[in-house]
A and B are shown apart, each in its own frame.
Chain A
Amino acid sequence: MRKGRVPFIITFLAPPLLLYVVFVLSPFVQGIQISFTNWTGFTPNFDYVGFQNYTALIGDSAWWHAVTNNLKLLIVIPIVTLALALAFATLLTRGGTGGTQHGLAGQRLYRVVYFFPQVIPVVIVAIMFQFIYSTQSGLLQQTLDFIGIDLLELIPNGPLGNRDFILWAIVIAAVWSTVGFYMVLFIAGMQQIPREFFEAAAIDGAGRVRMFFHLTLPLLWGHVQVSLVHIGVGALDMFALMSVMARNGVSADYGGDVMATQLYRTAFALNSQFGYASAMATMLLGFSVLLAVLTFRITRRERLEY
């Protein structure tokens, strides 16, 4: 039985694999190769320098400052984004009403409005937030003035000029622009949960909170897992926002410097140390893989079937 199995496998696997190897894998392998050279990117000459770039990197305090910032992002962004997206999704579907309604009043409008930021290119989100955070009557400053708070007293030098705050100022922009997408994803997942589950839970006297933790969340776990990986990989990048809002990580005494901005500057601005920057990128790749493995390990649990 099943003759022609081998030709079939080859026909189906070869084209995607070829594309993937040529356009994704091979450039990455070359990138890793560059990390073992001293190539500047501006001359034809380069030598292989062994692990020199890597040993230099390990002793580079600026690099570890960037890594630390990424770690902060990695902890905060997924938690905040997920919490908000899950809360919104719950409130706008059956679970949010204790199982009695389709969702809270106005849910249709909310679903549309919350999705808005998703369609704005990140570069423009960044420019917009530059105006919002402006210390020359930006939206934030004016709002705070209205309730009698001085922005510059609250955050000396302003959100994008303060070493300790700039990272969080940018996190807010990141969360703002992505929550809507994950909300839509979770809503979709929640709508799949049979209505009787909620009704049964309601009859059992489960409140909304209990319903969420004991019914919605477990049934949504697959979505949450994939979202975590997605958000996590995003938090390891953050280049677009940092490049505009933190001038590639340099603003506010490197307060917003992350791995991506630092390796960019190393490759192109700081005397074109392209080999060194590639070593940074390779280490970033290592972190990403580690992150993915950990995420799947930690979040692995029995999947509930329904």
Chain B
Amino acid sequence: MPSVCFYFQVHQPYRLRNVAPFSEAEGSDLFCDTANSGILWKVARKCYLPTNNKILELIKRFDGRFKVSYSLSGVAIEQMKQFAPDVLDSFVKLADTGCVEFLAETYYHSLAALRDRDEFADQVKAHGELISEYFGQSPRVFRNTELIYNDQIGELVDDLGFRAIMAEGADDILGERTPNFVYKHPHRELRILPKNYKLSDDIAFRFSNQGWEEHPLTTGKFARWLHAHSGNAQVINLFMDYETFGEHQWEATGIFSFLDALPHDVLTAPDWQFQMPSEVVRDVQPAGELSYWRTTSWADQERDITAWLGNRMQREAFDALHELGGHLRRRNNPAALSLWRKLQTSDHFYYMCTKWFADGDVHAYFSPYEGPYDAFINFMNALDEIRQQILSTSARLQGVHS
């Protein structure tokens, strides 16, 4: 009985204020409350609130047969709590239906898995506690930042006790196989749910593209594409940013009507169902082992990590950030640690990407900066600021002791 498994990513970084010498400091905090609250309100109005309403309505309409999963980063939840508690409440309402699963990820939506396994484990633990606090669930399925995944990360995640992980269904990884099955880590019991990027991106990226030969995408057509896999699929994993609904695809494109009509059209085929990730891995046996011999992600054509760590600025910033981590953790200063961890959020590195800069594309769309160079400069200035704070604290402590 094949399933459709929806997973939506919900994340908002703490955007930095203009951290710079010679400028008026806006207080000790490094982040721009105005920008962060403004963006959250905008996305809440256009996406989070209306889409949550729609999902809740669909769950009720189909009496529990429509199910979805979310991953909410810790920093997104923090900001909702601070700036838009009604959004957080609407997610709690979804959790109460029993038809919504919340996944585990790093609290700070960070790249720690690639550098610092202790830090990674700490952030995963902190996130799990947050999810448990708000949604009453202990996540069993993990998704790493931007679906960044390889075999080593799989071992880390397995060590932390998770049953399964989401990953990109990259062509070179799958080879002859299709993404429409549950796979298994080559050396561990960890299950892998590969994203069907074609069908996912039909909704997330191509839905409103008038140059696309399939435009306009109707639910009938999309359901036919799903049903065409009958007999040769365990699960179709449709993974996407939640902002697909109302923000990337504006309401006027008909994206909400699409969402509204899709469950019905999927369920017209009697053997098809919606399942949450934990149900999928509970119900089906893995079709085989799948080795992620290279690091994949769900970004760009390359499905690699060059959007975050592809150029020398990104690598230098990443190195400098993690170098500071040792000093910070030794000092055990919770305020400075929290600042440092917010700088680990992958978005800060994404803003420094020069890969597509010449084409002025999607990277520019998401960036609060004029360009990647400004992003790098501001980030390094923020790191300096934290370094100064640590130094001044040490100096004060030395003063006390002497």
Q: Do A and B come from one complex?
A: no
